[in-house]
Structure 1
């Protein structure tokens, strides 16, 4: 099992030193950090770019692994690592959600988007949807929707990095909105050899990320419809037995949580 975490560039050095401490304390630990980190913006292709960087780095290392998981920086595990390993062993084909795109989301890949400067800081950028209509996707494949959080078997990572079709789909998604919610869920249908009923929602049955949407009793704060957990939410989160990670934890909302 391999976990790929994304960090802002300004903490990259601190993380690298922390990794060295772990490697000194636990000589068998296989922990890597990317040499050239990139800024990641919600809704932008950079989210997928960060995943791809981690995949390439992992594949270049002489380590044994079977599943890659891509939690975000706002998530924390709901289980010890030993239990996460046991859980993932029951899903040798990975965990990827895939379902039909709601009508209200189709503009994401029908219209081109741009990342524009919104302030003086390099990180003050925002996604703008233009009126430019995008071309059809490669082979006119049906675009699907799913969670950005996935558990990818090694064979699928190889397919993503090596397949010309995968490269073409990634290129096409570069100017789409929230492409991470469409890439994995769409590429999954290719590996079904075109036999999957695309009008039927399907999943591999596992749960990588737990989020509370529109929850009235969120003890932290609902931001853009998602509960940012407070201390009072932890007891209920602890009861969850199915999901691997909980999202979102926010230092600005409740640092104690």
Structure 2
């Protein structure tokens, strides 16, 4: 009887989280009118897809691995990675991901009583003296895991200022030899941190560090300029097709294979938030009239941008003129990319030619899952709020893994570290299982989004 009641409560909780996901993704309030059909379609589609995918994977995965890893060499780097990753030893991550309250309590007790020591820049400098051993011991995938991934390169920027271990774990999770990466270490950061990052990147041909970094300060032009520096550095690599900007406190919710499938569904479209509201209007009102007939909008700096969009940003005079203009606005990093994406008359590849007077009901921001303190629909935050953004803890894990976004923000290395530990284990297990069992990701929901259908195509 108790077990049946527990399962019913657990099922109900999952349903509530999925409903909140629908509301949160599309910024719907119950008092609003004019909800567009696409806003409801995506949320309902994702809820159905998640349940269908979960049931399919449970049915297809055996209790023990029976298929051999397809390699002739048991000592190959690929085999070593697949066999070297051990589960988190102190807690049961599966139970935490399922929302088991007893395990949540136990995990919190352990984190309070046992203070963890984290790897330092000096530790990484020592480990990286032998690059081959570093790549193997840290569990990097040094071979593409599928033909689709091998033929679809993605460029990433990582803007960081602290916590080398957290950044290295992010890099490890998203690293593939066919992708390219740029790391910007804040000029204000200790020299040892920069030296540690350089030691790591010296072990990879496709990871670069900005040589003359900026001092990045929130709300200033330097936030935008740090990403632009990485864009310029990454543009030297010719094969990548999409650019995603990250910070060191984020983590992927999709495997690389899933990212490739989603970005292929975008067909060159950008996923960049575009909002017209009083907050952003006041930030641009202090500046003169924008050049080239551009109507300024605002939104999150977190972007997923096509190669054509990045090339325009870096090389087109209109973009350079607008870049000069946004220097006179407040918080320019939330104006520049967003406005370029919202002005279809500029004919920038991948930009949105739909109705940008609406908010993200028509154009859901899927690049990042973030819980804000003052969101229209208040999503639960079981961790803590820092500057109005939720820093996630272990009790947030069941909610996080339900999200359709590409990445999640944010985690602090020294706060409830089992949250990121278990998310990392979950992400690796998904990567392993889709490789060993050729699991298929259902990307149906991403194919017919408005920003995909209503995009400006390259001429």
Q: TM-score range by the shorter chain?
A: 0.7 to 0.9
| Contact in 1 for aligned 2:295/2:343 (Cα 8 Å) | no
Deviation at 1:75, TM superposition (A): 1.3
Secondary structure of the residue aligned to 2:266 is coil
| TM-score for the superposition, normalised by structure 2 | 0.46
Unaligned stretches of 5+ residues in structure 1: 24-28, 112-133
| TM-score for the superposition, normalised by structure 1 | 0.79
Mark the CA change 1:206 to 1:85 in structure 2 (over 3 Å): closer, same or farther: farther
Deviation at 1:160, TM superposition (A): 0.5
Instruction: State which of 285, 305, 308 in structure 2 corresponds to 1:152.
Output: 305
Q: CA separation in 1, counterparts of 2:311 and 2:280? A: 29
Name the residue aligned to 1:210: 369
Secondary structure of the residue aligned to 1:143 is coil
| Contact in 1 for aligned 2:280/2:297 (Cα 8 Å) | no
Name the residue aligned to 1:200: 358
Secondary structure of the residue aligned to 1:145 is coil
Secondary structure of the residue aligned to 1:105 is helix
Mark the CA change 1:50 to 1:33 in structure 2 (over 3 Å): closer, same or farther: same
Q: CA separation in 2, counterparts of 1:16 and 1:154? A: 26
Structure with the greater alpha carbon radius of gyration: 2
Name the residue aligned to 2:198: 16
Q: CA separation in 2, counterparts of 1:136 and 1:246? A: 35
Deviation at 1:205, TM superposition (A): 4.7
Q: How many residues align?
A: 226
Secondary structure of the residue aligned to 2:318 is helix
Mark the CA change 1:106 to 1:252 in structure 2 (over 3 Å): closer, same or farther: farther
Indicate yes or no: 2:266 matched with 1:84.
no
| Contact in 2 for aligned 1:221/1:253 (Cα 8 Å) | no
| Contact in 2 for aligned 1:38/1:50 (Cα 8 Å) | yes
Deviation at 1:20, TM superposition (A): 2.2
Name the residue aligned to 2:330: 177
Q: CA separation in 2, counterparts of 1:192 and 1:211? A: 31
Name the residue aligned to 2:206: 30
Deviation at 1:60, TM superposition (A): 1.9
Deviation at 1:201, TM superposition (A): 3.7
Q: Tell me whether 196-205 or 51-60 shows the greater mean CA deviation.
A: 196-205
Mark the CA change 1:143 to 1:253 in structure 2 (over 3 Å): closer, same or farther: same
Indicate yes or no: 2:285 matched with 1:110.
yes
Unaligned stretches of 5+ residues in structure 2: 1-153, 162-185, 348-352, 420-459
Mark the CA change 1:206 to 1:227 in structure 2 (over 3 Å): closer, same or farther: closer
Name the residue aligned to 2:158: 5
Mark the CA change 1:189 to 1:60 in structure 2 (over 3 Å): closer, same or farther: same
Indicate yes or no: 2:343 matched with 1:167.
no
* More helix, by proportion: 2
Name the residue aligned to 1:233: 396
Q: More relative contact order in 1 or in 2 (CA 8 Å, sep 6+)?
A: 1
Name the residue aligned to 1:124: none
Instruction: State which of 240, 250, 257 in structure 1 corresponds to 2:412.
Output: 250
Q: CA separation in 1, counterparts of 2:390 and 2:300? A: 17
| Contact in 2 for aligned 1:149/1:208 (Cα 8 Å) | yes
Q: CA separation in 1, counterparts of 2:158 and 2:397? A: 22
Deviation at 1:3, TM superposition (A): 0.9
Structure 1: 4+ residue segments shifted above 6 A: none
Deviation at 1:171, TM superposition (A): 0.8
Deviation at 1:43, TM superposition (A): 1.4
Mark the CA change 1:197 to 1:233 in structure 2 (over 3 Å): closer, same or farther: closer
Question: 1:155-195 deviations in whole A, cap 9, x for unaligned?
Answer: 11111111111111111111322212211121013345586
Deviation at 1:200, TM superposition (A): 3.4
Name the residue aligned to 1:68: 243
* More strand, by proportion: 1
Question: 1:138-162 deviations in whole A, cap 9, x for unaligned?
Answer: 1352111222111111111111111
